[in-house]
Amino acid sequence: MINNLSVMSMFDTSLFYNESYVMTQIDLFIRKIPYQGILLKEFRKTLSELIVPFKFHDKPGLSYCLSIRIFSDIVALIDRRLEADGFGINYNIIIYLDDNLTKALIGIIKDQGSALKADTEKLKRQEVLNRESLKEYVNQLTQHYAKLLFVRVDLYFDEEGAIDVSMVEYAQYMKTLRNRISNKDGCFSDLQGYAWAVEQGEQRGYHSHLLLIYDGHKHQNDCYLGLEVGECWQKLLNGKGTFFTSNHPDYKAKFRDVGSLGVGMIHRNNAREVANAINAAMYLVNPEKTNQFLKVKLPKMKTFGTGQFNVSWRRGI
């Protein structure tokens, strides 16, 4: 039974319109319950804050991770209960759900604890496979060429862009970017290899990591290339993008001082440089960053990819 005592306040607009943030908060909310539990009042309050933003962003054709699917099932149950009790779809009164119904909803989520854990382990195993694939790919390149220029760039949305962007739009941006990389357009000319990964963070929302491996005989200024790639991203997003490159001299100095620099010019005959480059590349696929997995994506959407080593245009293979 639902006790309709009053109507809650309006949702904060920054929460409402930020798709990535909404989905991330739902994921954290659902995953917390089987292991840490939750007070009935806290459950009702959080549910009431998330359900309307979720409805706003829920679109046909999106593919959700398990935690979001569980939340969607809870929403469907609440919809049916509200209709049965004659309230219609009035989510303002969720904070007044009675204790028995609240406990039942929490119980449904707790019963999914093992499935949620298995889902996380599956994602981690895939990241391990991605890491092994990337390691082999980078090793092939560093053994094939005398010298290569490694450039790392992280691509984000600025504060305004993060609020507005949907997964559908983000996927299109990434498709355009990957096409430019594959076609070696502009700042991507003379690439001998590349890798990319997309993630979804609590603070930075949808974002991507790029590893770009250039012909070391044709390019030497890695910082310049990193800045060029970042500016390419900003233009693609009409000024709503931001970026960070690991190739800035000040940033590189921190790693050079401790002998672990893995970006910039990498020489095949320098085992330390090659090992550092491989280690730096592994940042793209870290199985322990379980909070960075995509919570929402398009069907069959890839979250990681590399170029191919065995291609007809590559000399000497």
Question: How far is residue 310's CA from residue 254's CA, in Å, rounded to a whole number?
Answer: 35
Residue 314 has pLDDT above 90, yes or no: no
27 is in which domain, residue-wise? 13-111
Residue 91 has pLDDT above 90, yes or no: no
Residue 83 has pLDDT above 70, yes or no: yes
Residue 85 has pLDDT above 90, yes or no: no
Question: How far is residue 187's CA from residue 61's CA, in Å, rounded to a whole number?
Answer: 34
Task: Please check whether residues 136 and 276 belong to one and the same domain.
Answer: yes
Task: Please check whether residues 125 and 195 belong to one and the same domain.
Answer: yes
Last residue of a domain, one of 60, 82, 111: 111
Where does the pLDDT of residue 67 fall: very low under 50, low under 70, confident under 90, or very high at 90 and above? very high
Using CA atoms, how far residue 30 sits from 20, 50, 52, 109, 120, in Å, is 16, 11, 16, 7, 13
> How many degrees, rounded to 5, is the angle at CA 34 between CA 29 and CA 40?
65
Task: Please check whether residues 286 and 196 belong to one and the same domain.
Answer: yes
Enumerate residues 6+ apart whose C-beta is below 8 A from 179.
none
Taking residues 304-309, report their average pLDDT: 96
**Residue 154: how many CB atoms within 10 A of its CB?**
20
Question: How far is residue 63's CA from residue 61's CA, in Å, rounded to a whole number?
Answer: 7
**H-type alpha helices, 63-187:** 66-84, 99-110, 113-144, 159-164, 167-183
Predicted pLDDT at 17: 87
Task: Please check whether residues 129 and 96 belong to one and the same domain.
Answer: no
Predicted pLDDT at 315: 87
Is 189 domain-assigned?
A: yes
**Six token digits for residue 40:** 């009935």
0.85 cut: is pTM over it?
Answer: yes
Is 78 domain-assigned?
A: yes
Taking residues 195-218, report their average pLDDT: 96
Predicted pLDDT at 290: 83
User: What percentage of the chain reaches a pLDDT higher than 70?
Assistant: 95
- Residue-wise pLDDT for 200-209, tens only, equals 998 899 999 9
Is 312 domain-assigned?
A: no
Taking residues 264-275, report their average pLDDT: 98
Is 238 domain-assigned?
A: yes
Predicted pLDDT at 15: 67
Taking residues 168-185, report their average pLDDT: 96
Is 176 domain-assigned?
A: yes
Last residue of a domain, one of 111, 130, 160: 111
**Six token digits for residue 34:** 């089987």
Residue 289 has pLDDT above 90, yes or no: no
Is 5 domain-assigned?
A: no
Predicted pLDDT at 19: 95
Is 6 domain-assigned?
A: no
Residues present in the chain in total: 317
Last residue of a domain, one of 65, 86, 111: 111
Predicted pLDDT at 203: 86
Question: How far is residue 261's CA from residue 270's CA, in Å, rounded to a whole number?
Answer: 12
Predicted pLDDT at 14: 62
Report whether 130 contacts 304 (CB < 8 A).
Answer: yes
Residue 7 has pLDDT above 60, yes or no: no
Task: Supply the mean pLDDT for the chain.
Answer: 92
Taking residues 263-267, report their average pLDDT: 99
Question: How far is residue 108's CA from residue 62's CA, in Å, rounded to a whole number?
Answer: 23
Task: Please check whether residues 76 and 105 belong to one and the same domain.
Answer: yes
- Residue-wise pLDDT for 113-148, tens only, equals 999 999 999 999 999 999 999 999 999 999 999 999
Task: Please check whether residues 165 and 284 belong to one and the same domain.
Answer: yes
Return the sign of the alpha-carbon dihedral for residues 267, 270, 273, 274.
Answer: positive
By C-alpha distance, which of 26, 28, 33, 22 is closest to 109? 33
Taking residues 202-230, report their average pLDDT: 97
Where does the pLDDT of residue 5 fall: very low under 50, low under 70, confident under 90, or very high at 90 and above? very low
SS (H, E, C) 172-189: HHHHHHHHHHHHCCHHHC
Task: Please check whether residues 137 and 25 belong to one and the same domain.
Answer: no
Taking residues 240-251, report their average pLDDT: 98
Taking residues 48-75, report their average pLDDT: 95
Is 24 domain-assigned?
A: yes
Phi/psi of residue 198, nearest 5 degrees: -115, 145
Task: Please check whether residues 107 and 34 belong to one and the same domain.
Answer: yes
Predicted pLDDT at 90: 78
Task: Please check whether residues 154 and 56 belong to one and the same domain.
Answer: no
By C-alpha distance, which of 152, 314, 124, 135 is closest to 225? 152
Task: Please check whether residues 203 and 242 belong to one and the same domain.
Answer: yes
Task: Please check whether residues 81 and 217 belong to one and the same domain.
Answer: no
Residue 296 has pLDDT above 80, yes or no: yes
Task: Please check whether residues 155 and 301 belong to one and the same domain.
Answer: yes
CATH number, domain containing residue 131 = 3.30.70
- Domain count across the chain: 2
Predicted pLDDT at 6: 30
